[in-house]
Amino acid sequence: MKLSIVATLYQSAPNIKEFHQRASTVAKQLVGDDYELVLVNDGSPDNSLDLAVQITEIDSHVVVVDLSRNFGHHKAMMAGLEHAVGEKIFLIDSDLEEEPEWLLSFSESMVSENADVVYGRQQKRKGGIFERWSGEVFYSLYNWLADIDHPRNIVTARLMTRRYVEALLQHREREMVISCLWVITGFKQCESIVMKHMTSRTTYSISKKIRHATNAITSFSEVPLRMIFYIGALMFIGAMSYAIYLMVHKIFMSHPLEGWTSVMVSIWIIGGMVISFMGIIGIYLSKIFIETKRRPYVIVRSIYGRPSERH
């Protein structure tokens, strides 16, 4: 099979029919009838699954992978890639904020650049001032902490070769950050500037974004652990220097020093730092605990369509 289009479903009922129509049209323009459309239902609370299953009954190109519950966007995308069989795989969100028609320009770029991946990148991040500012801070902090060069303002949409996807699927961590896995998998990757639409309210709250940032940093960088050592060493040197200063002051000045307020402030600061450092270590330990269990990162309940005819 020449092409697989992979998309996830979560509260996608309003867009499924249009997405199917547009994705099918552009796939036929590119490869004729030799394609599939893999839709992964990530425990959507609406009737996205029912609508998708209805489409499989009238279109043999469509395959629906129904997960047993909501596992999260990143894991659902990996599940979709596992079930895709095309020589090229086009990954895209189904909410129509990303245009299925990008596939044509991505395919041209892949051929002209001889690349294994063509990914979409927004020239300017969408959203309000806080969202754009927080995104800039995250990418700057992340690229400083982690030993990878993460592109800024990327979108989900990307066209990938079979060999790249097979390499990507070798990553088996349970606490995954798929955008970082895209980068560290390597191969030749090139960007395509796109304009993402804002058709729906984002499901990523501030708490989810903070959790995502924490997960990304602790999954791909050991720098926070090193910083604990460096800060502890600096605090020890500072404390010893201050102790020497007090001893010299006591011996030569012969009168006690005042400053109980500064002592209490120092205790609170040091106590807060110790607790935060323990939290950082706890995050890393929890990741080790989760990974050693070797639990599957998704569980498939059912597959709808005609998978036997796709091979």
**Consecutive sets of 10 residues in the chain, 311 residues long: mean pLDDT of each?**
95 94 95 94 93 94 94 92 95 93 95 95 69 65 69 90 95 81 91 80 59 67 73 73 71 63 67 76 75 80 71 40
* Distance between CA atoms of residues 198 and 195, nearest Å: 10
Q: What is the pLDDT of residue 308?
A: 47
Give the separation between CA 144 and CA 168, rounded to whole angstroms.
24
Q: What is the pLDDT of residue 14?
A: 92
Location of structure tokens 């890639």: 81
Q: Which amino acid is at 155?
A: V
CB 304 within 8 A of CB 64: yes
Is the C-alpha dihedral spanning 55, 58, 61, 64 positive or negative?
positive
Amino acid at 168: L
pLDDT recorded at residue 154 = 87
pLDDT at 273: 74
Q: What is the pTM of this model?
A: 0.75
Q: What confidence score (pLDDT) does residue 276 get?
A: 76
Neighbouring residues of 119: CB distance < 8 A, sequence distance ≥ 6: 151, 154, 155, 157, 158, 159, 182, 189, 190, 191, 192
The helix/strand/coil state of 152 is coil
Instruction: Report the number of secondary-structure helices (H) and strands (E) in the chain.
Output: 10, 8
The domains of the chain, with CATH numbers, are: 3-220+295-309 (3.90.550.10), 223-293 (no CATH)
